[in-house]
Chains A and B, each alone.
Chain A
């Protein structure tokens, strides 16, 4: 049983079927009490200052903590910086397995990538499908939790974010995760409805800020849609595993993401969208497209290092919420 680090969502069913523990490096990094030190470690090793904090954090987690056996690095469909990240892992003596989402969503190519991963980890379709069916139940519960967020209004934006984002690795232990999820959902079902007047959607990569959701709630607004996190959770209920990962919007072009977001804006009755962009991330360019294509007001918020919202960002959020009222 090895600890397999992942740089973003990959077919986690394969890692579990092979009997290994999946570890989403992003989650380790952002919840680490000394997350900023991970970044410093990468910078001390020679990582440029003007590079995304997530990439540096992942480097710091793996090289600094030394408890990850192998890293599956998504070299296509997530972030091109991962290429070089992988190379610096190799330099530091860490085993890596590349995984690429085909840009054009080609079924056969994606299937081939999955099969390559199965053979490097030592498992097969039969075992993988057994795990998949087991996870389907869990993904279904997450979909219900998401519904409780926007329809029943009893789950907060931060909770919605947290449970969905954990679906990339199910915290390394799907059984334990499910027990916690059940307990949480039972507790949430008994709550009174939240009363914030503004309904906000969050799009883009998960925030490096630690208090964004709480701050918005303190200002009378609630996030009832987390775009990428929901995609990580894959609540689609699709039989075919390859199709499931083709349906997942995040690693492919921006226009399918827009279609997904647009549908959720309608369904969840959103007043506005917060588009989070990471400093120095190529995805910032896509902001231009979101602003043109989405028909609700969009505020772009940029973060660099882990920590609380800075005064300027708070000020922009205040003004945005004020504008929506």
Chain B
């Protein structure tokens, strides 16, 4: 059994994997994870792998924000975009595609050729196309994230240059009397608009879509409708980075 760990900005994801697929997966809030399983030592922070259920595994590979600040004893740490590339290759069996990952606070676009990352773009200090933005907008609309994420028809025009100002703009549209489905579609459309320049510059015929945002139908349908690419969402898009780590661990075993 191999363990992959994705230390994200908002959540930590853990998967246990063997040749037959994902055996187990767990998601922790980032703060809870460090509070419960982290321990400060002389050298830095050490994670108690036995306590999170990864004690008996053959190898642990991790990625994410902890990379340079964590001392992960006995753990190999790999670059995040590499983990995501591996995860997408492993989950889809494809080797030439563009990967779009929309996570809690980050958006990434990676161009993959022959199974290797050849170019990438990420959002810089802006969360207006991420899960966090969707959660805020769902709260403004008073609907669940699932509900918000499901719409793509007749989007209301929104500009959303900023995740925070986007809220007041949305409230303005609510007051004009638009319906929740069209407002939701509008929110989803702003996500598409923000990432479109990145997708254009790293275009491929196949787009693999991962991250928590890929769980909803709205953005997925918009991507399929607006882009000249086939959109593939792997079975567990939100765990892609952790799966990539575990797949790498398995590959490394030889």
A interface vs B, CB < 8 Å?
291, 297, 302, 311-312, 314-316, 318-323
**Prevailing SS type, chain A contact patch:** helix
Interface 9-residue window, one of B37-45, B76-84, B141-149, B220-228: B76-84
CA distance A297 to B64 in the complex (A): 22
Asked if B124 and A322 make an inter-chain contact with CB atoms under 8 angstroms apart, the answer reads no
Q: Among the listed B64, B117, B122, which residue makes an inter-chain contact with A316, where contact means beta carbons less than 8 Å apart? A: B122
Asked if A319 and B119 make an inter-chain contact with CB atoms under 8 angstroms apart, the answer reads no
Residues of chain B with a CB closer than 8 A to A311's CB: 65, 68-69
Residues of chain A with a CB closer than 8 A to B69's CB: 311
Asked if B120 and A315 make an inter-chain contact with CB atoms under 8 angstroms apart, the answer reads no
Asked if B118 and A323 make an inter-chain contact with CB atoms under 8 angstroms apart, the answer reads yes
Q: Is B132 engaged at the interface, CB distance under 8 Å to the other chain? A: no
Residues of chain A with a CB closer than 8 A to B68's CB: 311, 314, 318
Asked if B122 and A297 make an inter-chain contact with CB atoms under 8 angstroms apart, the answer reads no
4 closest cross-chain pairs (CB), A and B: A319-B81, A322-B79, A318-B79, A319-B79
Please give 18 more A-B residue pairs, beta carbons under 8 A apart, in addition to A319-B79, A322-B81: A297-B118, A302-B124, A311-B65, A312-B106, A312-B122, A315-B64, A315-B79, A315-B80, A318-B68, A318-B79, A319-B117, A322-B78, A322-B79, A322-B82, A323-B82, A323-B117, A323-B119, A323-B120
Residues of B76-132 contacting chain A, CB below 8 A: 78-82, 106, 117-120, 122, 124-125
Asked if B125 and A315 make an inter-chain contact with CB atoms under 8 angstroms apart, the answer reads no
Asked if A319 and B82 make an inter-chain contact with CB atoms under 8 angstroms apart, the answer reads yes
Total chain B interface residues with beta-carbon distance under 8 A? 19
Residues of chain B with a CB closer than 8 A to A314's CB: 67-68
A-B contact pairs, 18 of them (CB 8 A): A291-B201, A302-B125, A312-B124, A312-B125, A315-B65, A315-B80, A316-B122, A318-B67, A319-B79, A319-B80, A319-B82, A319-B117, A319-B120, A322-B78, A322-B79, A322-B81, A323-B81, A323-B120
Residues of chain A with a CB closer than 8 A to B118's CB: 297, 323
A176 CB, min distance to chain B CBs, angstroms: 38
CA distance A136 to B128 in the complex (A): 51
CA distance A223 to B124 in the complex (A): 23
CA distance A322 to B77 in the complex (A): 12
Asked if B119 and A297 make an inter-chain contact with CB atoms under 8 angstroms apart, the answer reads yes
Q: Which residue of A lies closest to B68 (CB)?
A: A314
Interface centre among A302, A316, A320 (most CB of B within 10 A): A316
